[in-house]
Structure 1
Amino acid sequence: MSLFAEAPLSLPDADLCLLPAWQSADVADTWLAQLLEQTLWEQPQVRLYGRLHPVPRLVAWYGDPEARYRYSGLVHQPLPWTPLLQQIRDQVAAAVGQPLNGCLLNYYRDGQDSMGWHSDDETELGPEPLIASLNLGGTRRFDLRRKGQTRIAHSLSLAHGSLLVMRGPTQHYWQHQVAKTRSQCAPRLNLTFRLIRSPA
């Protein structure tokens, strides 16, 4: 894939590419402002050790009608694409050379909003899923570690307008997180596009 030929990240048993400036600042600014205004945000609760806790960020799941997706123990019915999300989806799909039928939006309002360690390895995504992660707003650190290990093996700074693509065996061998931080950081919006192959 020529688009990513100059941006690979070298990790064993992984296939990652980062395009730090996939979109210009002007386009990224426009997308960020419109998406924050148009998205139907929710803050679902997950059950941990018998108690319900709100997830530490706002989320929304958009997609084709059949793109039901199970994560965090919940089955999510997709909201219909907005014109802007459809436009962005088409651009990302063209960039990665694969159809994409769903998008999970995560809104990190400040440094205390976070995403814990996980892999995007749900059955619905198939054995070697492609995850295309578009980042808008404040820069946050993205950590990777080997499954079964506790040590962070690699970290990336995901900046405004950047596109991170994970594919191949990555989700089988690696986990990732966006940790809480006490550092000052602007609100961040992350869009992860994927292909639901067998809906929940």
Structure 2
Amino acid sequence: MALKIIPIVDGELAIDEDFLSLAQADNLLELFLTELPWRHDQITVFGKSHLMPRMHCYQSEISINYQYSNLSLTPDSYHPKVLQLKRYIEAVTGVSYNAVLINLYRNGLDKMGWHSDDEPALGTNPSIASISLGVERCFKLRHKQKDAADMSLELAHGSLLQMSGSLQANWQHSLPVRKRISLARINLTFRYIK
């Protein structure tokens, strides 16, 4: 197990495609699908309100609401297995996290649009540790300013992706629709909220 640096301009990106064993990843996927307090919130985009194209939950050790996309999320306490996973990630990366936003993509129609994790509460140059569980999906990145080539990563079941440095200031990322996918994916994004 080791994070492999992915060459990228204006930021830092690293991946461990086998961060969790297959058995660990399978167990966590099954557990989280049934035991996490999933929410399906309304969001407003370009003046129109609709259900988010995914489900989510937010857990933290601090009593600070997390705000993004006109939502204000009140944290639930960590699920014991989420807390165990957080501590494992911290030991491997050497970075401390105090919150996690967890997204459930029920099938290939669920998605995440282009965005950066650059909310003021995350501070300058935040480190985001992202665990993928379930079906492999394409994770896309595009630079905000330069003519840098777009990037695509296939995020495997049990993989860890670490985004850090000035990546959030300079890049956007998304998880596009994949109509042929019928299986679920869970993504846990650990972060430090100030």
Residues 103-126 of structure 1, C-alpha deviations (whole Å, 9 max, x = no match): 011000111000000000000001
Check the 8 A contact 1:139/1:186 in 2, yes or no.
no
Once the two structures are TM-superposed, the CA of residue 99 in structure 1 deviates from its matched residue by 1.3
Once the two structures are TM-superposed, the CA of residue 100 in structure 1 deviates from its matched residue by 0.7
Match of 2:104 in 1: 107
Residue type of the alignment partner of 1:105: I
Q: Does 1:55 align with 2:52?
A: yes
Q: Does 1:74 align with 2:71?
A: yes
Check the 8 A contact 1:137/1:188 in 2, yes or no.
yes
Distance 1:131 1:97 in 2: 12
- Equivalent residue of 2:152, what SS? strand
Q: Does 1:184 align with 2:186?
A: no
Could you tell me the TM-score, scaled by structure 2's length?
0.95
Once the two structures are TM-superposed, the CA of residue 66 in structure 1 deviates from its matched residue by 2.6
| Pair 1:185–1:19, CA change in 2 (3 A) | farther
Residues 12-37 of structure 1, C-alpha deviations (whole Å, 9 max, x = no match): 11100010010100000001111111
Match of 2:172 in 1: 175
Match of 1:34 in 2: 31
How many matched pairs? Answer: 194
Check the 8 A contact 1:67/1:101 in 2, yes or no.
no
More off after superposition, 23-32 vs 58-67: 58-67
Distance 2:65 2:181 in 1: 36
Gaps of 5+ in 2: none
Distance 1:66 1:185 in 2: 36
Match of 2:124 in 1: 127
Check the 8 A contact 1:61/1:102 in 2, yes or no.
yes
Residue type of the alignment partner of 1:11: I
| Pair 1:136–1:94, CA change in 2 (3 A) | same
Gaps of 5+ in 1: none
Match of 2:89 in 1: 92
The runs of at least 4 consecutive aligned structure 1 residues that moved more than 4 Å come to: 148-152
Distance 1:193 1:67 in 2: 15
Distance 1:119 1:8 in 2: 20
More off after superposition, 100-109 vs 178-187: 178-187
Distance 2:2 2:137 in 1: 24
Could you tell me the TM-score, scaled by structure 1's length?
0.92
- Equivalent residue of 1:87, what SS? helix
Distance 1:10 1:152 in 2: 12
Match of 1:153 in 2: 150
Once the two structures are TM-superposed, the CA of residue 181 in structure 1 deviates from its matched residue by 1.1
Residue type of the alignment partner of 1:136: L
Once the two structures are TM-superposed, the CA of residue 83 in structure 1 deviates from its matched residue by 1.0
Distance 2:157 2:15 in 1: 12
Identity of aligned residues (%): 37
Check the 8 A contact 1:67/1:102 in 2, yes or no.
no
Distance 1:173 1:185 in 2: 33
